[in-house]
Amino acid sequence: MAARILLIEDEPSIAEVVEFALTSEGFQVTWRTLAREAEAEWATTSFDLLILDLGLPDGSGLELLKRLRRHSEVPVLILSARNAELDRVLGLELGADDYVSKPFSPRELAARVKAILKRTAHHPPIPAAIGSDPPIRATWFVIDEVRAAIRFQNHLLDLTRYEYLLLKTLLAQPERVFSRAQLMDQVWPDPVASFERSVDTHIKTLRAKLREIDATLDPIRTHRGLGYSVRIHDAS
């Protein structure tokens, strides 16, 4: 699947050049001009990389990056007209992966994007230590990949294929909030918009099955307007 890039840039002439350079390389580009639009976008859709202009009409790109880094490790390439040393240092300190100053060559930008994606692809988010390394403390769930089965409180769950994939995805990063779109990406290989609701439906049936085993735990949490997460043990 083509890598998805969120471009946050308020100057149309620059955005067009970037968009053209990246789509010619096979990337899928979503372009937003405002910080608040970018935030709305990444709350619902998962991206492989962000290209961030520092001077945005409704705020500083550095502030936006700071807010993003509170909950996401998505690679970020800063694109800035300001070739100030301070911006570069601050950007990298705040967690940007690279920095390109305007004017730039579209070809160089595409090459930098590819390099970042290559670098970060080898370091996927660290999965939870379930079933592989000995867990630090007992968790409520055990995944049996070979049998495509999940045990909850030592009871084998009777799951449909989609319920299994949904729960497995949530368990890969306990406590992390997954948006519906992110869950769809993982569970439905070829998602269409109308399927969105079926995430909720499957979460509902999953919850019912977990409740049958233990009605007190309710490990799947709904985050209103954001998505779902799962707990794997009692909060300490």
Output 14 or 206, the one with its CB closest to Ca ion.
14
Provide, rounded to whole angstroms, the least separation between the CB of residue 38 and Ca ion.
13
The answer to the question of residue 37 lying near Ca ion (CB under 5 A) is no
CA 103 to chain centre: 30
Q: Which is nearer to Ca ion, 53 or 97 (CB)?
A: 53
Q: How far apart are CA 17 and CA 205, in angstroms?
A: 47
| DSSP state for residue 195 in the 8-state scheme | G
Shortest separation between residue 33's beta carbon and Ca ion, angstroms: 9
Sorted by sequence, the CB contacts under 8 Å of residue 2 that are 6+ apart come out as 26, 27, 28
| Position among 17, 23, 37, 55 found at the interface with Ca ion (CB under 5 A) | 55
Candidates 8-16, 65-73, 120-128, 225-233: pick the segment binding Ca ion (CB under 5 A). Answer: 8-16
Answer yes or no whether residue 59 interacts with Ca ion by CB under 5 A. Answer: no
3 state SS of 194: helix
Nearer to Ca ion by C-beta: 79 or 167? 79
Q: Pick the stretch among 37-45, 51-59, 88-96, 227-235 that binds Ca ion (CB under 5 A).
A: 51-59
Q: Does 87 bind Ca ion (CB under 5 A)?
A: no
Determine the interface stretch with Ca ion among 9-17, 71-79, 163-171, 215-223 (rule: CB under 5 A). 9-17
Q: Would you say 55 or 95 has its CB closer to Ca ion?
A: 55
12 versus 40: smaller Cβ distance to Ca ion: 12
Shortest distance in whole angstroms from residue 11 CB to Ca ion = 5
Token duo for residue 222: 């709904």
Q: Is residue 127 at the binding interface for Ca ion, with CB under 5 A as the rule?
A: no
Query: What does the radius of gyration of the chain's CA atoms come to, in whole angstroms?
Result: 20
* Alpha-carbon gap, residue 123 to 73, rounded angstroms: 11
Distance CA(155)–CA(31), nearest Å, equals: 47
CB of 52 to Ca ion, least distance (A): 10
Q: At what angle do helices 196-213 and 161-172 cross, to 10 degrees?
A: 80
- DSSP E strands, the chain: 4-8, 28-32, 49-53, 55-56, 59-60, 76-80, 98-101, 141-144, 149-152, 155-156, 220-223, 227-230
**Residue 19: helix, strand or coil by DSSP?**
helix
Nearer to Ca ion, 55 or 135 (CB): 55
10 contacts Ca ion (rule: CB under 5 A): yes
Q: Can you tell me which of 19, 48, 53, 163 binds Ca ion, judged by CB under 5 A? A: 53
Residues contributing to the site for Ca ion (CB under 5 A): 10, 53, 55
